[in-house]
Chain A
Amino acid sequence: MHNGRMSIVKRKHIPLLMLLPVLVYLFVLTIVPLVYVWVLSFSEYDLSRSEEMAFVGLRNFYDCFQDVDFYNSLTVTLIYVASAVGIESVFGLGIALLLSKEFWGFTVFRSLIILPMMCTPVVAGIVWRYILSPEAGIANYFLSVLKIPPLVWLGDPNLAMVSVVFVDIWQWTPFVVMVLIAGILSLPKEPYEAAVIDGASNWQVFYYITLPLLKNVILITILLRVIDAFKIFDQIWVLTKGGPALRTEVLSIFIYRIGLRFFSMGSAAALSIVMLFIVIGLSQVLIYALRPKES
Chain B
Amino acid sequence: MSELNEYVLSEELKEAIKIAEITKRPLLIKGEPGTGKTLLANFYANQNNLPLFRWHVKSTTLAKDGLYFYDALTRLNDSRFGDQSGRDVNNIKDYIRMEAMGQAFSFDGPCVLLIDEIDKADIEFPNDLLLELDRMEFSITETGEVIKAKERPIVFITSNSEKELPDAFLRRCVFHYISFPDQNMMKDIVKAHYPEVDKSLLENALSMFYQIRDINELRKKPSTSELIDWINMLLHQGANLKGTKEIPFIGTLLKSEEDLSKFK
A, B assembled together: no
> Which residues of B line the A interface, CB within 8 A?
none
